[in-house]
């Protein structure tokens, strides 16, 4: 996994609450068996005026010019500013894959849906929770040209105007994201403990270990 340390970037303000994963990446793109290539279809139904299909060449598709992602001033932004309950709906990891593939590295919102929040950390995307008053203020500040610096080690955001905002993050998640660690390898360090747990459970509740044939 790509580590996340510090970024300085433009910010895209997506001023909608309850942005669901169907909006982030519509279902037809979930048919892919790969982890990459979802970026061009991020927010597909909001971003384009036609109906997107997998493997479509997006370079000539009619753009919805009103949609914030299509405004040239926000090109190459790595930070997305969002409203509450961002990422609600399905568990599809294609949502953070699409955001990461597009180039987003951090998302700031007052709240995230649980599964989406968790999925972000598996893909080098940092979801930052700030109180809604602060997020509201950032939306007001966020005019074209606005930038932020996000520093994970310091757990800080420095705004365009030099203000420092602290954010909280679980220390284990921070450590894994800062170092881009492989979660499976970390868990497998506990292989003996897992085997011991299984041995105990087989004697207590053997029906949990039935062969599904």
Partner 1 sequence: MTGITLYDKLWNEHLVCVEPDGSALIYIDRQLVHEVTSPQAFEGLRLAGRKPWRISANLAVVDHNVPTTDRNLGIADAVSRLQVETLDSNCAEFGITEFGIADPRQGIVHVIGPEQGAILPGMTVVCGDSHTSTHGAFGALAFGIGTSEVEHVLATQCLVQRKAKNMLILVDGQTEQEVTAKDIALAIIGKIGTAGGTGYSIEFGGDAVRALSMEGRMTLCNMAIEGGARAGLVGVDETTIDYVRGRAFAPQGVAFEQAAAIWRELRSDADAAFDVVIEIDAATIKPQVTWGTSPEMTLPVNALVPDPEQESDPVKKESMARALLYMDLKPGAHITDIRIDKVFVGSCTNGRIEDLRAAAEIVRGKKKAASVKQVLIVPGSGLVKQQAEEEGLDRIFKDAGFEWRDPGCSMCLAMNADRLEPGERCASTSNRNFEGRQGYGGRTHLVSPAMAAAAAIYGHFVDISALAEKSPRAPTNPASSNGHQNKPKLHRRAKPSVAASAKPKPAAKSSEQTRQKQKSAGNTSASKPQQEKGRKKVETV
| Binding region for partner 1 (CB under 8 A) | 15-18, 20, 22-23, 26-28, 30-35, 45, 51, 54-55, 83-85, 88-93, 96, 111-115, 118-119, 122-123, 170-172, 175, 183-184, 186-188, 190-191, 193-194, 197-198, 201, 205-213
Q: How far is the CB of 41 from partner 1 (least distance, A)?
A: 13
- In the bound complex, what is the minimum distance in angstroms from residue 115's beta carbon to partner 1? 6
Strand partners, 80: 12, 107
Beta strands in the chain (DSSP E): 6-13, 79-81, 106-109, 126-129, 147-151, 156-158, 164-166
Q: Is residue 188 classed exposed, middle or buried when 0-12, 13-18 and 19+ CB atoms within 10 A define those classes? A: exposed
Query: For partner 1, which is the closer residue by CB, 116 or 146?
Result: 116
Q: Residue 34 or 166: which CB sits closer to partner 1?
A: 34
For the CB of residue 105, give the shortest distance to partner 1 in the complex, in Å: 17
From the list 89, 83, 132, the residue with the least C-alpha distance to 114 is 89
Residue with tokens 């602060």: 134
Our CB check for partner 1 shows the closer of 102 and 112 to be 112
Closer residue to partner 1 in complex, CB, 2/190: 190
- For 143, the token pair is 């005019």
CB of 149 to partner 1, least distance (A): 26
Angle at 108 between CA 107 and CA 109, to 5 degrees: 120
């Amino acid at each position: 996994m790509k580590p996340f340390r510090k970024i300085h970037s433009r910010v895209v303000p997506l001023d909608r609450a309850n942005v669901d994963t169907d909006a982030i990446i519509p279902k037809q793109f979930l048919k892919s068996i790969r982890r990459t290539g979802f970026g061009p279809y991020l927010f597909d139904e909001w971003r384009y005026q036609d109906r997107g299909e997998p493997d479509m060449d997006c370079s000539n598709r009619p753009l919805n010019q009103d949609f914030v992602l299509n405004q040239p001033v926000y090109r190459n932004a790595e930070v997305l500013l969002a409203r509450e309950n961002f990422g609600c709906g399905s568990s599809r990891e294609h949502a953070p894959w699409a955001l990461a593939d597009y180039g987003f590295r951090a998302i700031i919102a007052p709240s995230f849906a649980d599964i989406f929040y968790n999925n972000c950390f598996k893909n080098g995307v940092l979801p930052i929770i700030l109180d809604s008053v602060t997020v509201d203020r950032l939306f007001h500040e966020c005019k074209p040209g606005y930038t932020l610096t996000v520093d994970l080690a310091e757990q800080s955001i420095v705004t365009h105007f030099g203000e420092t905002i602290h954010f909280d993050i679980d220390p284990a998640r921070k450590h894994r994201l800062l170092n881009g660690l492989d979660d499976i390898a970390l868990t497998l360090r506990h292989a003996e403990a897992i085997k011991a747990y299984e041995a105990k459970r087989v004697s207590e509740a053997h029906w949990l270990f039935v062969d599904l044939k």
